[in-house]
Amino acid sequence: MNSLIIKHGRVIDPANRVDEVRDLFITGGKIAGAASSKADVIDATGKIITPGLIDIHVHLREPGRSDKESIETGTRCAARGGFTSIVAMPNTTPAADNTGTIAFIKQRAAEVACVNVFPAGAITKELKGEELAPIGSLKRAGVVAITDDGRCVQNNELMRRAVEYAKMFDLPVMDHCQDYNVAADGVMHEGYWSAALGLRGWPAVAEEIIVARNILLAEITDWHIHCQHLSSARSVELVRAAKKRGVKISAEACPHHFTLTDESVKEYDTNLKMNPPLRTEADRQALLAGLADGTIDIIASDHAPHCTYEKQVEFDVAPFGIIGLETELALSLALVHQKVLTLPQLIEKFTINPAKLLRLSKGTLSTGADADVTVIDPVAEWTYDVEQSASKARNSPFHNWNLKGRAMITIVGGKIAWQLE
């Protein structure tokens, strides 16, 4: 399709403070100011039209573990979830700590991806936290951020130097906040339920120590650090206070952390084992408050696919992580239905906020912008069947959940990447 008219939808474009029922025109892969004479028409009556959704925290597993996921299957999963752009984490095999691996990811995405794939580069070589990766070379190779996600740099001096180098190359730093000494060998949140279930506890302070560290480093370097997947109330408080001081700090939350709690683990379902772990109801409420007041800028999935056999083991030895791209939007729309967020506030966290963080020319429906568009039915009721997922993996705790709201059409560069039949 070269030209499209999406008619009668409620256009929500936070970047331009637009929220009104109107038509959207697409010509030549770009948002147009007027209709083309030969355009296909999509009736979006009763639907929401937004800039293409962006997920900045996705594990595609390729290269190295395409038995878990691949760029092809992971991007199909993203399209089904309404996402037109995703950021691929660097904990691949080999790690994305060199220009060759970044070139492979970009080439492979160009060949098979149905959405935009933006690679993140590693902070340290092999994600070992010992020696800086070639940050300048990674920037030239096309990374949009650096992170050791899945790992956390424990050496504070090394992390400071990483942030300073990132500043030189205008790259945001994203950090998985986890003090290994404090987290130790914990497998779930340390509290009542870990004691009741006899599982090793992982205290929230393991996250909070690194959040505090990152705030101090962002302050001393005057550069942006983004804290990934916050899970604790005190982390939210720390970020809120730092923002009030003008520190260049931001944060994201994942749907599983603001939807579930550590009590959910009581059946020992390994699909509820994640990093950071599910925490208490008080922590969940703090995340909701942080989302509502803007302390938490972005919602991301931390889509982490694993093979079924890897999860079909004892809770202690199962890998951390769940898939989330297909359920992320519906679980987040629940915040609108519960009046935690307005629709424009929610869309902001999926569009312009991640685009600004990563300096992407995405997240807007401005005339001339790339025609990445998501059409959403906010009240469509459906049941998530993980067996029908586009992902290779099946490790979701939301199988058979009744959900409300979903993407109906995902358009990338003016072409329909996915449409609900």
Q: Which residues are catalytic?
A: 302
- CA quadruple 354, 358, 362, 365: dihedral positive or negative? positive
DSSP reduced 3-state for 405: strand
Question: Residue 358 corresponds to which tokens in the numbers above?
Answer: 């990563």
Whether 23 contacts 409, CB under 8 Å: no
Whether 212 contacts 220, CB under 8 Å: no
Burial class of residue 271 (count of CB atoms within 10 Å of its CB; 0-12, 13-18, 19+)? buried
CB-based contacts of 318, cutoff 8 Å, min separation 6: 270, 273, 310, 311
CB-based contacts of 4, cutoff 8 Å, min separation 6: 25, 26, 39, 40, 41, 42, 371, 411, 414
Question: Residue 26 corresponds to which tokens in the numbers above?
Answer: 């697409």
Would you put residue 63 in left (φ > 0), alpha (ψ -120 to 50) or beta? Answer: beta
Q: Tell me the CA end-to-end span of the chain in Å, nearest whole number.
A: 18
DSSP-assigned states of every residue in 330-377? HHHHHHHHTTSS-HHHHHHHHTHHHHHHTT-S-S---TTSB--EEEEE
- The four Cα atoms 410, 416, 418, 419 give a dihedral, to 10 degrees, of 90
Question: Residue 30 corresponds to which tokens in the numbers above?
Answer: 């770009």
Site of tokens 């199988």:
399
Question: Residue 182 corresponds to which tokens in the numbers above?
Answer: 């404090």
Burial class of residue 181 (count of CB atoms within 10 Å of its CB; 0-12, 13-18, 19+)? exposed
Whether 323 contacts 389, CB under 8 Å: yes
